[in-house]
Chains A and B, each alone.
Chain A
Amino acid sequence: MAAGGDGALLRVEDLRLHYRSARGRVRAVDGVSFDIRRNEALVVLGESGCGKTSLSKALLRVLPRNVAEYSGRVLLDGTDLMRFDEERFRREVRWVRMSMVMQAAMNALNPVVRVGEQVAEPLRVHRGWSRDRAMARAAEVFGLVGIAPDFLQRYPFELSGGMRQRAVLAMALATEPDLLILDEPTSALDVLTQAGIMNQLKRVKRELGTSFLLITHDIATSSEIADRVALMYAGQIVEFSDAASFFGAPAHPYGKLLMASVPRLRQVRRPQHVPGQPPSLAAPPAGCRFAERCPARFERCGEAPPAVAIGTRREVRCWLADPRGATS
């Protein structure tokens, strides 16, 4: 969706990432458009298999070998990154302007290297800093994520899961990226640890002005940081909203059902499940991809709905929102 607005840090237009597979072409990311402004947190919300992790890989260009199509535009401060060759992308973008914390990244730390060295590494590699200078910066970012500097000398196994996750976060922040991409950063952690990490993310956002792209299936946790929400379904963004509108009253039927499925601690309302299953990304339906499970489906849903603007920077991919849709 090309939700408008100037001053976007990142603008993504019609991004596609398709894979080759035995079942044919898998359309993991299938025409995704959105933008993120400076100091803004965009949450990409979706269930397993909706393509949200592929989206993060497409943005940072961490691609597997079986790519069938990788196209669209990814503009960072107006410069199209898709035109960069791998060498330039590595030198100027990845870990420099855009960092990423992958799913279960805390388990990806090198077990035989002290944590401080690992946090300092991107600075030495990408900035060419001396070891001392990089270690000093590592101590600084440790402070930022709430770890005492003496932990720099520890090995990963000496840290708890929450601490390791913070260390990975520190690593991603060390180079002061403009955009931090986080893929399920807290889903493997306990409730209190999770709340602690979300607090740190909020502080980083306030203090450094970093922009965030947070990918998750956890609706409640996502509301801890979201300024905007992009709801993904079957490889597409079906709703793009500001957080208050989305969490208050989602516009897309899928968003409504998903919100009703969230168990709430402070409300006596029985959560409802969303019947059915998402379509295969190898053979998505020609029309609306959610139509099969949609309680509000009508004839028009056999055609693919466009992204309909329903407010400032708010769009929904549904015929019901189209002024001509429900009638024609």
Chain B
Amino acid sequence: MNGALLSVRDLHTWFELRRWGFVRVGFVRAVDGVSFELARGEAVAFVGESGCGKSSLARTLLGLHRPTRGEVVFDGTRLNELDAPALRRFRARVGYVQQDPYGALPPFMDVRRILAEPLIVHGVSDRAERERRIREALEEVRLSPADDFLPKFPHMLSGGQQQRVVIARALILRPQMIVADEPMSMLDASVRVEILNLLRGIQAARSLALAFITHDLSTVRYFAERIFVMYAGRIVEQAPVDALLEAPQHPYTKALIAAIADPDAENATRIQDVPGGEPPSLLQPPPGCRFHPRCRQRIAGVCETEVPPDFEPRPGHRSACWLHR
């Protein structure tokens, strides 16, 4: 094994779909053959639209879903085989920052209690030690003075402050990796950047691995080193951030980037070129390349039948598209 902190190979996370509780309809192939590696201290982003499987991937990495097939190896430990207590210990090593900070915080607990909870669950029994670590975590997410925030309940905090508490909770067990699922999509533009800067700063200072899950390509530029673009359960393109944004290779990524506007009054004068149709059902994904029904550059006779492998059109830049053949 090399120096990767996290190694994911041919991962499949499928969910069985039943009708009336017993008739098996099929499987929702949320994650369907994903492989990648994440180095220690590296920040990466998984970008895709709703239903592309990015959140299921995140939850599988956190040990909240069992892989259906393939493996997840974290720091030498295969996640697939862990029993419940081992899985609980594993979860202490990966922090989770949820999408909706208010929904993620129990409304009946004050900040002190919210931050004490993971410490108690993971056996930090000394009260003074807990208090010290709680204050340290609040300091780290710049909720200071800590005494002002410790007795507050979630509803007494602004959206940005709530998200800081969620981040503090994710950090308090000193994880090696953070998984952040759309950490700023519920926040206002002006607060978003602040939360991202904070997360990125902590990540760099502690050399944490960071996996951002997001639908918004424009925010990832400054907050990740590599981007993985997901479509219908698979990674279709992966590259360092600048390479991907400046020279996207896969037709889906190209469409995605073209659809994102930078604020400019000129935008109002043009009709954008948007691929028709919608992402496919994960219950019966199309054969061949999953993007082919919407792709304008489809190669007849190839894309409809043959699953494209990862090509490497430029060094370090991979794209699963037959155009690179």
Contacts and interface: CB of A to CB of B under 8 A. Distances in A.
B50 A41 contact: no
Interface stretch (A79-87, A107-115, A128-136, A224-232): A224-232
B261 interface: yes
B272 A198 contact: yes
Interface in B169-218: 188-194, 197, 215-218
Contact of B189 (A47, A196, A223, A224): A47
Of B193, B262, B263, B271, most buried by chain A (CB within 10 Å of CB) is B263
Contacts of A198: 272
Interface stretch (B75-83, B127-135, B146-154, B251-259): B251-259
A270 B265 CA distance: 21
Nearest to A265: B218
Contacts of B194: 273
Q: How many B residues are at the interface, by size bracket?
A: 35 or more
Contact of A264 (B159, B216, B218, B257): B218
Q: How many A residues are at the interface, by size bracket?
A: 35 or more
B215 A191 contact: yes
Given A190-B50, A195-B259, A273 B268 contact: no
B160 to A, nearest CB: 8
Contact of A262 (B189, B257, B265): B189
Contacts of A89: none
Nearest to B252: A192
A259 interface: yes
A271 interface: yes
A304 interface: no
B158 interface: yes
A265 B263 contact: no
Interface in B263-322: 263-265, 267-268, 271-272, 274-275, 278
B279 to A, nearest CB: 8
Given A192-B49, A192-B274, A263 B263 contact: no
A277 B216 CA distance: 24
Nearest to A246: B265
A257 interface: yes
A53 to B, nearest CB: 14
A270 B257 contact: no
B36 interface: no
Given A47-B190, A263-B219, A202 B49 contact: no
A221 interface: yes
A267 B262 contact: yes
Contact of A162 (B191, B221, B260, B278): B278
Nearest to A264: B262
A274 interface: yes
Of B49, B189, B275, most buried by chain A (CB within 10 Å of CB) is B189
A48 to B, nearest CB: 5
Given A190-B50, A195-B259, A272 B268 contact: no
Contacts of A155: none
A258 B255 contact: no
A191 B272 contact: no
B27 interface: no
Nearest to A194: B259
Interface in A240-260: 242-244, 246-248, 257-259
Given A199-B271, A226-B265, A273 B260 contact: no
A219 interface: yes
Contacts of B274: 192, 195-196, 199
A218 B197 CA distance: 20
Contacts of A162: 278
A265 B262 contact: yes
Contacts of B216: 191
Contact of B268 (A219, A225, A266): A225
A90 interface: no
A157 to B, nearest CB: 14
A52 to B, nearest CB: 12
Contacts of B257: 265
A261 B268 contact: no
Contact of A217 (B188, B262, B275): B188
Interface in B229-262: 245, 255-257, 259-262
A192 B256 contact: yes
A263 B219 CA distance: 6
Interface in A25-70: 41, 47-48
B255 A192 contact: yes
Contacts of A41: 268
Contact of A263 (B158, B218, B272, B278): B218
Given A258-B190, A265-B221, A270-B222, 19 more contacts: A47-B190, A48-B188, A160-B278, A162-B278, A190-B50, A190-B215, A191-B260, A192-B275, A194-B259, A199-B274, A202-B268, A223-B263, A223-B265, A223-B267, A226-B268, A259-B263, A264-B218, A265-B262, A273-B193
Interface of B: 49-50, 158-160, 188-194, 197, 215-219, 221-222, 245, 255-257, 259-265, 267-268, 271-272, 274-275, 278
5 contacts: A161-B50, A263-B218, A263-B219, A271-B193, A277-B160
Q: Which 7 A-B pairs have the closest CB atoms?
A: A274-B190, A273-B194, A195-B259, A190-B49, A243-B265, A244-B265, A47-B188
